[in-house]
Structure 1
Amino acid sequence: MLQMEAMETSNYFESYEDLDIHKLMLRDKARNTAYKSSILSNRHDFKDKVVLDVGAGTGILSVFCAQAGARTVYAVEASNIYKIAEEIVKENKYENVIKVMHSKIEDIDLPEKVDIIVSEWMGFYLLHEAMLESVIIARDKFLKPDGLIFPESATLYSVPCSVPSMYDDWEDLDGVSMRHFGLKLRENASTRPITETVSPEAMLCDPEVVVWLDLREVTVDDVKTMEMRHVAVANKTGKYQGICLWFSCTFPSRLTEPVTLSTDPEEPPTHWKQTIVVLPSDIQVEKGTPIAYDLQLARSEENNRRYAIEVTMLHPDEVEHPEYCTCYLTKCILVRAMLDKYEKGDLSGITEK
């Protein structure tokens, strides 16, 4: 069983005064394009409406909303980066539309209800930093009953994977074995997940959904603890060395195709990259091998910005498999054969007495 804390920043809001963090986000083309496309392609929803930008940062999302025709945008930012947001608003000549407010969303009072909430609240593995709670609070306090939230849903995925940067890359480094160094890297990774870009080829199985969140209905209690048991099936031969986590978000759309922002390894890279829980030792798997594990994400009671990620490796013979499991265990082969007969209408030998 692997247990790790997933956040170590002691002062959350001070950390967001680091310009390098904002530079990283602002240079994330996939992120910016998803928000801009979803907002500007839904101008009919933003025209003359009141918008709340939760955690506005440098204000780029607020400017997108103003460009889409919003009457008023309340850009709420708790860190001192709000000063830059004020300058960005002036630079783009939207002082009469965008009102930058230096406050936590939990402490603020708005003069009116809002038609739309926009927020870039997602962290590594979706929930890092727990900013979703601020969006939920803003929704419950300020959003009109028929209001919209950008994005409106989010999905967290997991999949067993290879992690060559923690294993194979140290077998032979310019003719020198560095296995002991790799071992130390894995020991360091045993207390917290790593964040890096994972190649699609490193994925050993099809992804499984850990949790799907509807932002119109999700509550704070819903995201305190999430638990899921997975029985994944290797679709290739490889080394099982970790569990990879990533997320996708979908934006509302009434007249056009919905926009999705995905951090899937198959998609263009983002600043979120992927999150990996590294195993202490690797396991060779063949195509068709079942891989069973429990995954839990639990919010810390001591620090509500922290989540603990716990992975428990299970023996695949000792857990229940999905109905149509494609692994090579005899029991699953027999169940598949029976289900195939039912689907083809061939019930001979099954229903006859």
Structure 2
Amino acid sequence: MLSDKVRTQAYRNALELNPRLLRGARVLDVGCGTGILSMFAARAGAAAVVGIDGSPQIARFARANVAANGLAAGAGGPIAIVASKVEKLAELPLPPQAQGTPQQQQRHNHTARHLQPGGAAQRGEAPAQQQAVSVPAKAPPEQQVDVLVSEWMGYALLFESMLGSVLYARDRWLRPGGAVLPDVARLYVAAGGEGATGLEFWHDVYGFRQACMEDVRDSLASDALRTALLRYVPARHVISEPASLHSFDLATMSADEQDFTAPFRLAANGSGKRECVGVVAVVAGACMRSRGRSGQQAGPQTCHAVVVWFDTLFSERFCAEHQVTLSTSPLSGTQTHWGHTVLLLKQPVLLAPADAAAAAAGGGAQRAAVALAGQLGMERSRQTHRRLNIVLRYAPQYVDGSAGQEEMVRYSISVA
């Protein structure tokens, strides 16, 4: 995390540029790693910070870092580090709770109106099949925190399988009306050209074409139809406008809502440019407007894959003074360690704007679709902890309203 400036600076700004939220607060850092978020919270004025990490070795590193900066609770500082799974933690090493400050009471009044009595989120009844995960009992008031922060995201947002622990910590340790940072996560998809897959490299290897190179490509493509590709996709290889796939509200969602299936429609870019008007990424406190690459030809382009990425938001709900969006979009012009998740199609699909598709059809050329539409689902593996299963269903849509054959591919992301 430390070397990924986009994400580290996003968390730093969310914590340090919202003093009304952090000053005097009790903070829980789930999956604290080296302790950097805990130290940001302390520098922002938190009265007490508990960092939890499931690895005893990593927790030792965090304690050493905290102590080196004079922030350890044992030496009069605000930070205590605990080596434990959050689900197995009996109590938090918090100091006795002082009388709430006016700032803390104001913070509570601002956020509590979004919640029902007792801290239950205002949302409709979940379907019966979503009641499998039990909600932990709320800790007593003296064991509750004001702010829960975590950098839990993985490839395709959900791969790390850590979100469930964050939701457990929210239900167990966060006071009613407390803040979750970040509080919103959004998944996006777009059509990708062959360059998005990285497989085009094998067509021409440093100027050489050899039969074995194509065999290598075919083998890699076969693997990519089972295991999602994880790589950075430059903006020039995104050949459609992005589409919003799914959104998670971390302050209110249940643990079972991590599994989902959502529809998408990726329309061929009508201008030949990806201007992405209105898509703004606020990264590390700076406002950046995503821009397309000029000079592209309007007309048919071949879609080889669906590209998946995410944004996480520190929204106005809790970060009233300074909102931050941590974007991993290929259109943002910045790279993060997550890169992008690339889902290879069984066969490429020719995409073109409606006018170009109609002209191509009239001229007897290969039939071009105006959009790629379907459903994308993500589900945690019930057998393997760190495994994410992805199901993609898709079909081309044509200018006359008809649809091509639907295909389905099952991918996974897992630890080798």
Counterpart of 2:231 in structure 1: which amino acid?
E
User: C-alpha distance in 1, partners of 2:8/2:160?
Assistant: 20
Contact 2:18–2:322 (8 Å) recurs in 1: no
CA distance in 2, matches of 1:298, 1:261: 23
RMSD: 1.8
Aligned to 1:109, which of 90, 108, 129?
A: 90
Q: In structure 2, which of residues 48, 63, 67 is the aligned counterpart of residue 72 of structure 1? A: 48
Superposed CA deviations along residues 28-69 of structure 1, whole A, max 9, x for unmatched, are 000111000110001221111100000001100000000001
Which amino acid counterpart does residue 107 of structure 1 have in structure 2?
Answer: K
Matching residue of 2:228:
193
TM-score of the pair, normalised by structure 1? 0.80
1:259 pairs with one of 321, 324, 343:
324
Kindly indicate whether residue 200 of structure 2 is the aligned counterpart of residue 168 of structure 1: yes
**Does the 8 Å contact 2:233/2:330 carry over to 1?**
yes
Moved over 4 A (4+): none
**AA at the equivalent of 2:38:** S
Structure 2 counterpart of 1:271 = 337
Shift of 1:331: 8.3
CA distance in 1, matches of 2:243, 2:204: 33
Match of 1:219 in 2: 254
Q: CA deviation at 1:261?
A: 0.2
Distance, in Å, in 2 between the alignment partners of 1:33 and 1:94 is 20
For each residue in 1:117-150, what CA deviation from the matched residue of structure 2 results, as whole angstroms up to 9, or x when unmatched?
0000000111012111011000000101111011
User: How far apart are residue 256 of structure 1 and its match?
Assistant: 2.6
SS at match of 2:153: coil
Q: Which residue of 2 aligns with 1:210?
A: 245
Partner Cα separation in structure 1 for residue 384 and residue 206 of structure 2: 44
Determine if contact 1:128/1:306 at 8 Å carries over to the other structure. Answer: yes
Aligned length: 297
Which structure has more relative contact order (CA 8 Å, sep 6+)? It is: 1
Structure 1 gap ranges (5+): 1-24, 318-327, 333-353
Aligned to 1:291: 372
Q: Which moved more, 1:107-116 or 1:123-132?
A: 107-116
Question: What is the aligned partner in structure 2 of residue 46 from structure 1?
Answer: 22
Q: Aligned to 1:26, what secondary structure does the other structure show?
A: coil
Deviations 1:286-336 (A, max 9, x none): 23422122211112111243221111222436xxxxxxxxxx33689xxxx
Same amino acid, percent of matched pairs: 31
Q: Deviations over 1:149-181 (max 9, x none)?
A: 110110011112113254322222233223222
Q: Counterparts of 1:230 and 1:110 in 2: how far apart (Å)?
A: 43
Determine the C-alpha separation between the residues in 2 that align with 1:67 and 1:41: 11
Tell me the amino acid that sits aligned with residue 234 of structure 1: A
Query: Could you tell me whether the CA contact under 8 Å between 2:144 and 2:174 is conserved in 1?
Result: yes
Gaps of 5+ in 2: 93-142, 273-299, 355-369, 404-416
What is the distance in 1 between the residues matched to 2:199 and 2:82?
47
Partners of 2:30 and 2:390 lie apart in 1 by 26
Q: Does 1:311 align with 2:382?
A: no
Q: Secondary structure at the match of 1:81?
A: helix
Match of 1:4 in 2: none
Q: Which residue of 1 aligns with 2:281?
A: none
Equivalent residue in structure 2 for 1:143, among 161, 174, 184: 174
Q: Is the 8 A contact 2:14 2:322 kept in 1?
A: no
Deviation at 1:282, TM superposition (A): 2.1
Output one character per residue of 1:3-29: Cα deviation in whole Å (capped at 9) or x when no partner.
Answer: xxxxxxxxxxxxxxxxxxxxxx21000
Residues 1:329 and 2:400 aligned together: yes
Whole-angstrom distance in 2 between the partners of 1:261 and 1:172: 36
Once the two structures are overlaid, the 10-residue window that deviates more, 232-241 or 163-172, is: 163-172
Distance of aligned partners of 1:258 and 1:194 in 2 relative to their CA distance in 1, 3 Å threshold: same
CA distance in 2, matches of 1:107, 1:266: 41
Is the contact between residue 193 and residue 276 of structure 1 (CA under 8 Å) also seen in structure 2?
yes
Contact kept, 8 Å, 2:349 with 2:396, in 1: the verdict is no
Is the CA contact 1:163–1:278 (under 8 Å) kept in the aligned structure 2? no
Q: Give the alignment partner of residue 233 of structure 1, picking from 264, 267, 276.
A: 267
* 1:94 aligned to which of 55, 62, 71: 71
Q: How far apart in 1 are the matches of 2:27 and 2:315?
A: 15
Which of 154, 162, 168 pairs up with 1:131? 162
CA distance in 2, matches of 1:217, 1:70: 24
TM-score (norm 2): 0.68
Report the AA paired with residue 65 of structure 2: I
